[in-house]
Chains A and B, each alone.
Chain A
Amino acid sequence: MADDVRTKPQQSANRIVNEPIPDATAGDGITGTGPLVYWRVFRTFVRNSLVRSMGFRANFWLECVSSVCWTIMNLVFFKIVFSYTDSIGRNTGWGENEFFVFLGTTWIITALIQTFVMPNAQEFSELIRTGHLDFALLKPIDTQFLISFPQMVWSNLANLFLGILLVGYAVLRLMADESNPLTLGFTQVGLYLFFILCGLVILYSVMIAMASTSIWLGRNQTLYTFWFYLTNFYRQPMEIYQQGMWGWTLWGFFTFVIPILLVVNVPARILAEPLRPGLDERTWSLAGLTLLVTLLMLGLSRWVFQAALTSYRSASS
């Protein structure tokens, strides 16, 4: 598929170095570590990256258009698929509207990861190769935080809005369904948002752990390729893998080892209730698993990151 897709404009490797740490630390000379400092630094990251994106406004809009194009094509493909079938998989409940909730959720999660996580994971790899990570290590703030958030590619957020629109539209259609209407409460919407957050944390952990390996490998050019293959697996309802030896193996691998199948499946199931009425037992057990996995992955990625840092040899300095 679109493998050589987005070669984002290469951003200069020493960005973190030039990034002014906000005056929070400057005023009284105290290198604060309270949560407030993190919030202020984060706000600076947001401001700087917005300024950077908006500096090339025409390019920004073209980038928005191109990512939206890709998403629309995706939608057209499934529109065509649903003109021939009325569900994906036998008795799975993933009918057109249920699946569109799923698809929209995929867009939301992918857009958020591509806006906030991917550019930084990529840049982290680059910092290690050039030795510029030194400057991040010297800053009086948590290094993982500092390398995780400085860059945001705002044009990727265009798909977030499309995702919200699609989910909204599909949910309304489901609620208007006369034979088996969907009823949503605040709890369900809250859980949906919560599990999207869990999914984001899982993906973030996977990508940061992957990027950390560049400390050992010297360079990790395949990061975007790896991301592309991951998205390929998580953007499908997990039921399609649940048949045959190969399918179950894949399912098991991407549920328990690299748990990316939970990322979209759990929130989408909670909101769309494919097996209405009510949420079935499987959804609940998957949700429980996701909660556990999220904490585990976050801890694991933190551990990999710090273990990798101890091997950092500071190239070229």
Chain B
Amino acid sequence: MTVWRSRVRLWWAIFRVSVEERLVYRGDFAFGTLMRFLPMLTQIFLWWAIFDAMAARPGETSDVNAIRIKGYNLHDMIAYMLLVMLARAFSSMPGLTSGIAGSIQKGEIKKFLIQPVDMLGSLLIQRIAHKLVYYLIAIGPFALVFFLCRSFFDAGFPAPDQLFGLVLALVGSFLLGFAMEACLGLVAFWLLEVTSLAFIFMLLTFFLSGHMFPLDLMPAPLDRLIGMLPFQYLAYFPSAVALGKVTGEDLVWGLVIQYLWVIGCWVLCRWLWVRGLVRYGGYGG
């Protein structure tokens, strides 16, 4: 019991420090979040032009809203783009990979070797704290944008079971995002310099997670491949759940696979950590 009590006290201390650290830059934060929606404007106009051109084809209804691409009409497409922003607010981990790689390069992880604190565990708690603070501040801009764009959500507010699925999917996307980026950071034990690798990984995530466009649009051989990768659970899956594109048994299976990926990546993380420490040279101060 006492072991657990001290552990929880330790976690709580890390959590509190991280919260306070983050609250320092709140103004900049809120404004930055609002600015992030700016590119959405172009997206809306671009998709409108695409759907409009499709409606203008001979034999079509010439009603933009009746046109569908793989089940998405114009409104769905815009709603999807907004929801992806929400999902990425959970699953993106700015600075995690570079932070881990940096502390390996500079030898800062030594402190975790002599203190009774687990590095991955404390990073996770810090990240949770940072994210909570982020949501606390970002909820304003997010609520504003979603309210302004409410007419694009044809299906309205998600039903309770859907909402429950969405919450689970978002939490899962957070954990998966953390585990995947932490793995990438730990590769620095072997490569030392992972900046370019992290950049390519980020591009891949952008494309394969469905951040760019709904993965349903992917052509035939590619969609099968992407279905087998974990990236889709970082953005596409939560958004599709919120839009009501994944329901019932599919939803349950989707969540199961998502959490299996979480466990798999977390195990890989641990393994990389243990193997990495064996190789670790302890350069620097």
Contacts and interface: CB of A to CB of B under 8 A. Distances in A.
B56 A236 contact: no
A85 interface: yes
Q: What's the dominant secondary structure at chain A's contact region?
A: helix
B217 interface: yes
Nearest to B199: A66
Contact of A80 (B36, B48, B51, B219): B219
B69 A84 contact: yes
A80 B220 CA distance: 11
A34 to B, nearest CB: 42
B54 A77 contact: no
Contacts of A5: 199, 202
Given A1-B39, A73-B206, A85-B50, A80 B199 contact: no
B50 A84 contact: yes
Nearest to B42: A232
Interface string A50-67: 000000000100110110
A81 interface: yes
A225 to B, nearest CB: 7
A87 B51 CA distance: 10
Contacts of A246: 41
B90 to A, nearest CB: 16
Which of A3, A239, A246 has the most chain B CB atoms closer than 10 A to its own CB? A3
A89 B53 CA distance: 5
Contacts of A241: 45
A240 B48 contact: yes
B217 A80 contact: yes
A6 B202 CA distance: 11
A83 B219 contact: yes
B38 A232 contact: yes
Contacts of A138: none
Contacts of B207: 73, 76
Which of A9, A62, A92 has the largest count of B CB atoms less than 10 A from its CB? A62
Nearest to A83: B219
A236 B45 contact: yes
Interface residues of A, number: 42
Contacts of A247: 45
A80 B50 contact: no
B199 A6 contact: yes
Interface in A125-182: none
Main secondary structure of the interface of B (DSSP, over half): helix
Contacts of B41: 246, 250
Contacts of B55: 90
A282 B211 CA distance: 36
Nearest to A77: B212
A28 interface: no
B38 A240 contact: no
B53 A85 contact: yes
Interface string A1-19: 1111110010000000000
Contacts of A4: 94, 202
B52 A90 contact: yes
A80 B193 CA distance: 35
Contacts of B212: 73, 77
B152 to A, nearest CB: 14
Contacts of B57: 86
Nearest to A80: B217
A9 B57 CA distance: 49
Given A63-B196, A84-B69, A229 B50 contact: no
A2 B94 CA distance: 11
B46 interface: yes
A66 B52 contact: no
A233 interface: yes
B35 interface: yes
A198 B218 CA distance: 37
Contacts of B217: 80, 84
Contacts of A303: none
A69 interface: yes
A266 B18 CA distance: 50
A83 B50 CA distance: 11
B213 interface: yes
A216 interface: no
B113 interface: no
B203 interface: yes
A87 B53 contact: yes
Interface of A: 1-6, 9, 59, 62-63, 65-66, 69-70, 73, 76-77, 80-81, 83-92, 225, 229, 232-233, 236-237, 239-241, 243, 246-247, 250
Interface of B: 35-36, 38-39, 41-42, 45-46, 48-57, 69, 94, 193, 195-196, 199-200, 202-204, 206-207, 211-213, 217-219
9 contacts: A2-B202, A9-B195, A66-B196, A77-B212, A80-B213, A80-B218, A84-B69, A229-B38, A229-B39
Given A4-B94, A77-B213, 12 more contacts: A2-B202, A4-B202, A5-B202, A9-B195, A65-B196, A80-B218, A84-B54, A85-B50, A87-B53, A225-B35, A236-B45, A240-B46
